[in-house]
Amino acid sequence: KAGVTQTPRYLIKTRGQQVTLSCSPISGHRSVSWYQQTPGQGLQFLFEYFSETQRNKGNFPGRFSGRQFSNSRSEMNVSTLELGDSALYLCASSGLATDTQYFGPGTRLTVL
Amino acid sequence: EDKVVQSPLSLVVHEGDTVTLNCSYEVTNFRSLLWYKQEKKAPTFLFMLTSSGIEKKSGRLSSILDKKELFSILNITATQTGDSAIYLCAGRLNAGGTSYGKLTFGQGTILTVHP
């Protein structure tokens, strides 16, 4: 089975711009969770989607949003980028009746 | 607030040494604890623990959970340079809708294995 894929792998943006990141889960997995990883804060939960519905959300401002499509692929959007949004954004997918999440390679976002 | 704390934060050993990494948690309505290894990018799954006292083992790595004392340990025997990585533990709580898809991670332990 192919693993979780994320595109793009690297992004450089400037403050005030917006960005869209994409995540394709493992085939058959319907849950996709997003995390932000920074040296200071570690891995922090952003939100989780299941069957095109957001089921859970972390403590991030409304500038961070996401969606999921009928094929379980998910996108994450960050609007009005700030310097502090520079981070590694990881998505993870999991199957039914399991807590195990499998991570993609991440998208490294740099905001200048 | 749910909290996962790992210790030590960093560890330097030589090949062949045995290491023990610690993870304590304060997660309401605990459901499971997971260990991951992160080298360059994506954390890779190692173990998931749900029951106390049952050791999970994979090669030189093993892990056990103590639900009474709220901690878990990850042991690596006969370490190799390829074990150098960040080891993350994460807790998953069982609180209905608020738990879906959310893992609460510790800060990670940076393990460096010298030849």
How does pLDDT run across B19-60, given as a tens digit for each residue?
999 999 886 677 889 999 999 878 999 999 987 888 899 999
Which parts of chain A sit beneath pLDDT 50?
none
Residue with token string 């954390």 = B43
Average pLDDT, chain B: 90
Of B96 and B72, the one with more pLDDT: B72
Closest residue of chain B to A90, computed from CA coordinates: B42
A104 touches chain B (CB under 8 A): yes
Rounded to a whole number of angstroms, the distance from the CA of B51 to the nearest CA of chain A is 14
* pLDDT above 70 as % of chain B: 92
Work out the burial of residue B2: count CB atoms within 10 Å of its CB; fewer than 13 is exposed, 13-18 middle, 19 or more buried.
middle
Mutate to test the interface with B, among A100, A107, A108, A109 (most CBs of B within 10 A): A100
C-beta neighbour count of B14 within 10 angstroms: 11
Residues of chain B in contact with residue A55, where contact means CB-CB under 8 angstroms, are 97, 100-101
Residues A32 and A47 sit within 8 Å (Cβ to Cβ): no
Q: Is the peptide bond before B8 cis (omega within 30 degrees of 0)?
A: yes
**Contact across the interface for A43 and B88, Cβ inside 8 Å:** yes
User: B96 pLDDT exceeds 60?
Assistant: no
Beta carbons of A48 and B100 less than 8 Å apart: yes
The answer to whether the peptide bond before residue A105 is cis (omega within 30 degrees of 0) is no
- pLDDT at residue B4 greater than cutoff 60: yes
Q: Are A28 and A47 in contact (CB under 8 A)?
A: no
When comparing pLDDT for B89 and B95, which is higher?
B89
For residue B115, say if its preceding peptide bond is cis, omega within 30 degrees of 0.
no
Angle at A76 between CA A43 and CA A68, to 5 degrees: 115
Both tokens assigned to B88: 């993350």
Contact B114, B79 (CB under 8 A): no
